Amino acid sequence: LFSGLEPRPSDPLLGLMTAFRADPRDAKLDLGVGVYKDEHGKTPVMRAIKAAETRLLADQDSKRYLGGDGDIRFVELLEPIVFGDALGDPARRIGIQTPGGTGALRLGAELIARARPNATVWTGDPTWPNHTPILRAAGLTVASHPFYDPRARTIRFDEMMLALGKAAPGDVVLLHGCCHNPTGADLSIEQWDAVIERIAERDLVAFIDLAYQGLGDGLDADAAGLRKAWSALPEVLLAYSCDKNFGVYRERTGAMWGRFADADTAAIARGNILALARTLWSMPPDHGAAAVRIVLDDPELAADWRTELSAMCERLGGLRQALASADPRLAYLAEQRGMFALLPVDKTGVHAMRDAHGIYMTDGGRINVAGLGIDDVAPFVDALRP
């Protein structure tokens, strides 16, 4: 049976992690996989999460099943953070805990495929490399629209709008909520308005992937586009990840929300969502969501989480400023947000930096800005010069 399997390429990012670990040099820099790192290159458990985990260990008296929704209180406590004033009619909204943002993306994709098997999902070029395989795994057709011009270092907004103008009614548009992966280029609020208008007039559905809330311009600003879409459009799906902004990556913590045209549709969608989740993972893993719930349910822990997240956000902003001032060719980094940036190096340049300086980034020239310490900026920029 299994001799019929075809070889599949491994995830280049995970390969990069392994290569970095195997590199014996002391002076090496891992700018590969997207995990936040502090000034010392560490990814510590956030203070509030650590405190919550301590409580959880002491107080948890059962590990009985919670049910397909997962931790309902976790979802409820996230809602004001994610949606702010745009939360809207609860009868038209479904929220469910998922295994990470990835689980939410897959669940949303499966729901779309159930509702409209021949829907096309439009993704930007470029986008997170896992988007297309996740959508295709649900049986959906994926098309791409222009998004970013790596030479001009700007969003190809007019071309994007033109492409969306050709999408068929019922097609889906996958948008990054903030901190675009891999480019760092986010839509301005005016551009969000125009995209939302286009989605409405073409009768499309917005599917928003918000995986870095709080790591761009702050919790509210990073959700501004999502909130506009949520208020303005009859139907929106949101795939949300807590893995970066709560630093719980391996705990696979996330949620999916849907907003539906009316309460009846929402109720039927809810049954479908739970049925799909049952076939995908039955019930989501508890630990990460329980820790996030404890943090958000406690005003002191919640405040401390916000403080620590702000500091992470400021560190990223500071690194972007430092890179931008160190080299005019990197000035654009100050205008972009989040952990990721595409640098003006080709594959040969990327490999040369790896060989000569132990600097690891993806072949496409994407760096995780958080992999740098502030003192790494000058030598990094020197190494980048051809």
Interface ranges with ligand TYF (CB under 6 A): 11, 13, 33-34, 128, 130, 181
Residue nearest to ligand TYF (CB): 34
Q: Which is nearer to ligand TYF, 32 or 284 (CB)?
A: 32
Catalytic residue among 163, 211, 266, 291: 211
| CA distance linking residue 338 with residue 209, whole number of Å | 14
DSSP letters for 142-177: EEEEE-EETTTTEE-HHHHHHHHTTSPTT-EEEEE-
243 lies in the binding site for ligand PLP (CB under 6 A):
yes
177 lies in the binding site for ligand PLP (CB under 6 A):
no
Q: Select the binding partner of residue 100 from ligand TYF, ligand PLP, none (C-beta < 5 to 8 A, by kind).
A: ligand PLP
| CA distance linking residue 195 with residue 191, whole number of Å | 6
Q: Is 128 marked active-site?
A: yes
Task: Work out which of 100, 124, 184, 284 binds ligand PLP, going by CB under 6 A.
Answer: 100
Q: Select the binding partner of residue 241 from ligand PLP, ligand TYF, none (C-beta < 5 to 8 A, by kind).
A: ligand PLP
With beta carbons less than 8 A apart as the criterion, state whether 364 and 344 touch: no
Q: Is 209 marked active-site?
A: yes
Beta-bridge mates of residue 236: 206, 259
| CA distance linking residue 74 with residue 257, whole number of Å | 13
Tell me how far, at minimum, the Cβ of 13 lies from ligand TYF, in Å: 4
Residues 19-48 that bind ligand PLP (CB under 6 A): 34
82 lies in the binding site for ligand PLP (CB under 6 A):
no
Burial (CB count within 10 angstroms: exposed 0-12, middle 13-18, buried 19+), residue 143: middle
| CA distance linking residue 183 with residue 178, whole number of Å | 11
Q: Is 211 marked active-site?
A: yes
Catalytic residue among 171, 185, 239, 244: 244
Q: Is 63 marked active-site?
A: no
Tell me the residue type at 313. C
Token pair recorded at residue 317: 């902003």
Token pair recorded at residue 178: 């903030």
Tell me how far, at minimum, the Cβ of 33 lies from ligand TYF, in Å: 4
With beta carbons less than 8 A apart as the criterion, state whether 223 and 82 touch: yes
Q: Select the binding partner of residue 33 from ligand PLP, ligand TYF, none (C-beta < 5 to 8 A, by kind).
A: ligand TYF
The interface region with ligand PLP, picked from 82-90, 99-107, 189-197, 219-227 by CB under 6 A, is: 99-107
Task: Work out which of 69, 71, 95, 102 binds ligand PLP, going by CB under 6 A.
Answer: 102
Sign for the CA dihedral angle at 204, 201, 148, 221 comes to negative
77 lies in the binding site for ligand PLP (CB under 6 A):
no
Task: Work out which of 32, 70, 124, 254 binds ligand PLP, going by CB under 6 A.
Answer: 254
Three-state DSSP string of 16-54: HHHHHHHCCCCCCEECCCCCCCCCCCCCCCCHHHHHHHH
In the complex, which residues of this chain contact ligand PLP (CB under 6 A)? Answer: 34, 100-102, 128, 176, 181, 209, 211, 241, 243, 249, 254
Residues recognised as catalytic: 128, 209, 211, 244
